[in-house]
Structure 1
């Protein structure tokens, strides 16, 4: 697999078939959630990665802090930021959901909820998204994978200790997926 390039649109899709489709934005209860399409090969939205250190160049290294943002958040209110973040704990579900509305760049304690990592998993093309920011030395954040919470048509991305979603990446122009 080619190295990922900062600023380039990619689709994130599950490694396993029959495990749902790509990611998109979806507004519910005035929150812009990052969700997974429930059906393989469903239309999805591209994301763009940006790392925390410009001296690293354009290549994205595994296990480094990065922002993830939707290229377009057409599923949500236009005033929302497209940068993904870990939302506050939802007592009703017992989950920390991944939502849009984060801050791009500005690594530090004030933006700790906006930083994710890409971790290599067994297999040549298997990766997982992980919330494990190191942009703030004052806070020790327990590392957690990003998985899926829910069933049916509303599969929200959420932090998961035991079931991270295994994914791969496709450049926007090099795959058969469609954007809205």
Structure 2
């Protein structure tokens, strides 16, 4: 009888401790802001480049819409607040998510404020707006990004898993100097190191 009770207790202990182990491992994969708090889907965040500047949306020379995602240096402020929308669940590393402006921007009223890559630009594959929020699949394949650990911070990556049958490249998001003036975000070989700050 004592042996049966002891075996049952050991089995119960093993079953009850497993979710705790999974839970702690899972929480380690969640993306943290600069104060060490987990990023939440119902909050807006500033993406802070580690080498200074802020993330902004701007129209390009001779173009009005869509807006391009750029890094602006030597300006006071933290840029535009952004909202992160994972394909499901919490905001974790290596998880497909949409990135969008947290507030409405009336400069391009007929365009969405969701980020996407523009695979049709001739000079480089830039990050721009007018992406599709949600609806994972081939129609929205250009609108999905990932956050990955990078040194003591994070980086953005374009390598979506939401459409296994879609052909796409996998590359880091970094800075591309456009026309010797604009520091646009684009697919590059050198990632932009970033951190997150709650807006």
User: TM-score scaled by structure 1?
Assistant: 0.81
Shift of 1:42: 3.9
1:33 equivalent in structure 2: 68
RMSD, aligned CA: 1.8
Q: Contact (CA 8 Å) 2:155, 2:173: kept in 1 or not?
A: yes
Pick 1 or 2: higher relative contact order, CA cutoff 8 A, min separation 6. 1
Residue 171 of structure 2 is aligned to residue 144 of structure 1:
yes
2:137 equivalent in structure 1: 108
Aligned length: 160
Shift of 1:72: 2.9
Q: Distance in 2 between matches of 1:7 and 1:86?
A: 24
Shift of 1:43: 4.5
1:175 equivalent in structure 2: none
1:5 equivalent in structure 2: 40
Residue 87 of structure 2 is aligned to residue 52 of structure 1:
yes
2:110 equivalent in structure 1: 79
State which drifts further: 20-29 or 128-137.
Answer: 20-29
2:151 equivalent in structure 1: 122
Q: Contact (CA 8 Å) 1:26, 1:76: kept in 2 or not?
A: no
Aligned partner (choices 82, 86, 89) of residue 120 of structure 2: 89
Deviations 1:125-152 (A, max 9, x none): x100000100101124221111111166
2:33 equivalent in structure 1: none
**Runs of 5+ unmatched residues, structure 2:** 1-35
Relative to its length, the structure with more helix (as a share) is: 2
Shift of 1:2: 1.5
**Runs of 5+ unmatched residues, structure 1:** 173-180
User: TM-score scaled by structure 2?
Assistant: 0.74
Aligned partner (choices 187, 192, 199) of residue 159 of structure 1: 187
Does the residue aligned with 1:25 lie in a helix, a strand or coil?
A: strand
Q: Distance in 2 between matches of 1:60 and 1:82?
A: 19
